[in-house]
């Protein structure tokens, strides 16, 4: 398929104005994460590489869930080297969520844009973005960071339960930005956050905390068979979630959180 002129223009701006060195664009694909994982072992593949698709037929979410998004969503994956994140690459998810929240805030400055640990982004109290980070197979030291942002895929006519929990930029604005505009802004913020984080890892907590969606809410964290409930007290320096329970403060490095 011939590439639409706005995409050609967006790709040249991405290559000129961001850290991305190569772009793959698809009008339709199974999953951008699957494609990035499939090329990750080839060391001739130059990174950072952006895999961007208008539509995914088999988008994947965290915990083995599928990720469905109608036309107008921004779906992409970045293939990166772990070492570009220094030795603390496990915090990539927190930094990525923060960078996206900051980018989206510029489009909707009047509304709260928050991060839900470990790495969802919430707009006006509803999920607007999900992130799926996966290590590349083998010992390549590469990582795939998959991002789905609801931009022009309105939830206004979605089933009522979905309308309660998810939103898109276009649902909060009189005019939706294009997916290309949002992508460019996210990439620029992401690189800025990466540089700040690598130079001063301790500053992450200071910047993340004011955007924490869970702080002060009653939550239940589930990890495998185990679960812990209590009042969320934000995160610590290591990016662990802090939950105040009847028996004291618990810290958790991973899990799925539900607000009670
Ligand atoms: C989640 O909230 O569960 C994470 C969703 C991640 C979805 C994105 S869309 C682009 C990339 N490709 C995928 O198959 N998944 C991620």
* Tokens coding 99: 């960078």
Which pLDDT tens digit goes with each residue over 111-154?
999 999 998 999 999 999 999 999 999 989 999 999 999 999 99
Which pLDDT tens digit goes with each residue over 178-201?
999 999 999 999 999 999 998 998
Burial of 50 (0-12, 13-18, 19+ CB in 10 A): buried
Mutate to test the pocket of ligand 1, among 146, 153, 186 (most ligand atoms within 8 A of CB): 146
DSSP structure string for 181-226: HHHHHHHHHHHHHHHHHHH-TTHHHHHHGGGBSSTTSEEEEEETTE
- Give the Å distance between the CA of 132 and the centre of ligand 1: 5
Which pTM was predicted?
A: 0.95
Residue 91: pLDDT band with limits 50, 70, 90: confident
Residue 210: pLDDT band with limits 50, 70, 90: very high
| φ, ψ for residue 176, nearest 5 deg | -80, 140
| φ, ψ for residue 25, nearest 5 deg | -120, 140
- Give the Å distance between the CA of 248 and the centre of ligand 1: 35
- Give the Å distance between the CA of 30 and the centre of ligand 1: 11
Element (H, E) at 23: strand 22-26
List, chain by chain if needed, residues with CB within 6 Å of any ligand 1 atom.
Answer: 31-33, 56, 59-62, 65, 67, 75-77, 120, 130-132, 146-148
Q: What number does the ligand 1 atom closest to the CA of 148 have?
A: 9
- Give the Å distance between the CA of 141 and the centre of ligand 1: 21
Q: What is the pLDDT of residue 89?
A: 64
Q: What is the DSSP letter of 63?
A: G
């Amino acid at each position: 398929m011939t590439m639409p002129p706005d995409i050609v223009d967006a790709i040249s701006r991405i290559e000129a104005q961001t850290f991305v060195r190569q772009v793959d664009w698809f009008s339709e694909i199974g999953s951008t994460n699957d494609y990035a994982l499939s090329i990750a072992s080839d060391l001739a593949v130059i990174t950072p590489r952006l895999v961007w698709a208008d539509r995914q037929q088999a988008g994947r979410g965290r915990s083995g869930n599928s990720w469905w998004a109608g036309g107008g969503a921004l779906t992409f994956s970045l293939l990166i080297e772990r070492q570009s994140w220094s030795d603390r690459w496990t915090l990539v998810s927190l930094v990525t969520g923060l960078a996206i929240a900051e980018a989206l805030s510029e489009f909707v400055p009047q509304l709260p844009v928050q991060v839900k640990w470990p790495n969802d982004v919430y707009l006006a109290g509803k999920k607007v973005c999900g992130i799926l980070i996966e290590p590349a197979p083998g010992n390549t030291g590469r990582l795939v960071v998959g991002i789905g942002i609801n931009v022009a895929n309105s939830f206004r006519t979605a089933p009522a339960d979905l309308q309660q929990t998810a939103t898109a930029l276009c649902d909060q604005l009189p005019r939706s930005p294009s997916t290309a505009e949002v992508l460019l802004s996210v990439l620029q913020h992401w690189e800025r956050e990466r540089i700040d984080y690598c130079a001063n890892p301790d500053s992450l907590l200071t910047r993340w905390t004011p955007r924490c969606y869970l702080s002060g809410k009653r939550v239940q964290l589930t990890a495998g068979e185990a679960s812990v409930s209590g009042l969320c007290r934000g995160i610590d320096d290591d990016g662990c979630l802090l939950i105040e329970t009847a028996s004291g403060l618990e810290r958790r490095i991973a899990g799925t959180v539900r607000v009670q």
